[in-house]
Amino acid sequence: MEETKELLEKIKEVFPCPEQDVRTYSPLSLAFIGDGIYELVIRTMIVTKANRGNKDLHLATVKYVKAENQAKMVEILKPFLTQEEADVLRRGRNAKPGSVAKNARIAEYHRATGLEALFGYLYLTGQTDRMLELIKRGVEGLEEQ
């Protein structure tokens, strides 16, 4: 039986890179990777629910990844965050991105950036189970609204 490894571990094996302290990464770097991993989780969730056309897959995904709903997810998750997680989210929220989403208010965009920074931090520190737990809780909260 093959040993199960986290995706991050496998990536680091295939693409060796020097070890770095993730806590020193800029919040926007964390948000950059967090955006990608969050979208991958959401796309995986959507695709595995049903085999549908690309347009339907896209529309179902956008419901969760648009800044407005990510901002709502921040409010859903705040009571469940550790102090460390809340600090990462705050740093991401307070970062000054070079652009703003075309369909979001600035405050929503900043909260969404904080959420993505949190997911990026959890992913890069190997806390995948915690990241998935928070995403699941957030998705369930959005669906209840």
Contact by Cβ (8 Å): 85, 91: no
Cβ–Cβ under 8 Å, residues 80 and 137: yes
Catalytic residue among 35, 56, 87, 129: 35
Residues 23-39 pLDDT 10s: 899 999 999 999 999 99
Q: Does residue 2 carry a pLDDT above 80?
A: no
- Supply the pLDDT for residue 4: 57
* Mean pLDDT within 37-64: 92
Place of tokens 């991105």: 97
> Burial of 141 by CB count in 10 Å (0-12 exposed, 13-18 middle, 19+ buried)?
middle
- Residue 129 is among the residues annotated as catalytic for this protein: no
Which pLDDT score, from 0 to 100, does residue 104 have? 73
Task: Select from 112, 141, 124 the least CA-distant residue to 11.
Answer: 124
Assign 101 a pLDDT band (cuts: 50, 70, 90).
Answer: low
Q: Where exactly are the structural domains of the chain?
A: 26-144
Instruction: Please tell me the distance from the alpha carbon of residue 111 to that of residue 93, in angstroms, as a whole number.
Output: 5
Given the candidates 1.10.1520.10, 1.25.40.10, 3.90.1170.30, 3.40.718.10, the CATH classification of the domain at 26-144 is: 1.10.1520.10
Is the entire prediction scored with pTM above 0.95?
A: no
